[in-house]
Chain A
Amino acid sequence: GESVGLHLPTLSVQEGDNSIINCAYSNSASDYFIWYKQESGKGPQFIIDIRSNMDKRQGQRVTVLLNKTVKHLSLQIAATQPGDSAVYFCAEVSNDYKLSFGAGTTVTVRA
């Protein structure tokens, strides 16, 4: 079946540096992608989304890039802060509105 995956299960980053979290997807028919942040003991929290007719979308300190040619999605976090420590998931939305998630990347911010 189709799957969404993240390249690395863990990422350690120095406070103040930029973080890049990568995700590969396999369903070329997907037209909507979402990044979520999940802190310990909490449900996933929406960060940013992007549609397949876009290559880039920016939010507050976050940027999502979509490369449809290689089916790759990335989340960039600028000036990473301790509060950014969490598990990050990418998800793709299928035609019947179901989300498919990758296993997640755990980001740890070093002081």
Chain B
Amino acid sequence: DVKVTQSSRYLVKRTGEKVFLECVQDMDHENMFWYRQDPGLGLRLIYFSYDVKMKEKGDIPEGYSVSREKKERFSLILESASTNQTSMYLCASSTNPPGTLGGYTFGSGTRLTVV
């Protein structure tokens, strides 16, 4: 069964900490995405990547950065965590172009709380 795996289900971090959220996919997908999900706002795109070492800003990139050193791994970095970054973070991957194998595949999410 194909998978997108996020390393942590729950994280609690302090304001100002540097936070790393890891995502690994085993489907050899070209595209990987990071979303955050907040009540009433749905899923919003933070960053995405079409290939190794490339990245593109999504709709809400402020306060975040990403790293894609290997095709299967896409990391989201909170340079200095703030309380307004408390959220559910979802990683996804897709083929290029999407539309085969059910489109996008999501991980189970990481619920981050910044205190």
Contact = CB atoms under 8 A, between A and B. Distances in A.
Contact of B99 (A51, A98, A101): A51
A99 B33 contact: yes
A92 to B, nearest CB: 11
A73 interface: no
B90 A43 contact: yes
A59 to B, nearest CB: 11
B74 interface: no
A89 B42 contact: yes
Contact of A49 (B31, B50, B102): B102
A49 B99 contact: yes
A47 to B, nearest CB: 9
Interface string A28-46: 0000101010000111111
Interface in B43-99: 43, 45, 48, 50, 58, 90, 92, 94, 96-99
A99 B104 contact: yes
Contacts of A103: 40-42
A77 B97 CA distance: 28
Interface in A16-63: 32, 34, 36, 41-46, 49, 51
A95 to B, nearest CB: 9
Contacts, number: 57
B108 A97 contact: no
Nearest to B96: A97
Contact of A99 (B4, B43, B97, B107): B43
Nearest to A102: B42
A101 B102 CA distance: 16
B108 A43 contact: yes
Given A32-B103, A98-B33, 10 more contacts: A42-B108, A43-B106, A44-B90, A45-B106, A46-B102, A46-B104, A49-B99, A91-B104, A97-B94, A101-B43
Interface of B: 4, 31, 33, 40-43, 45, 48, 50, 58, 90, 92, 94, 96-99, 102-109
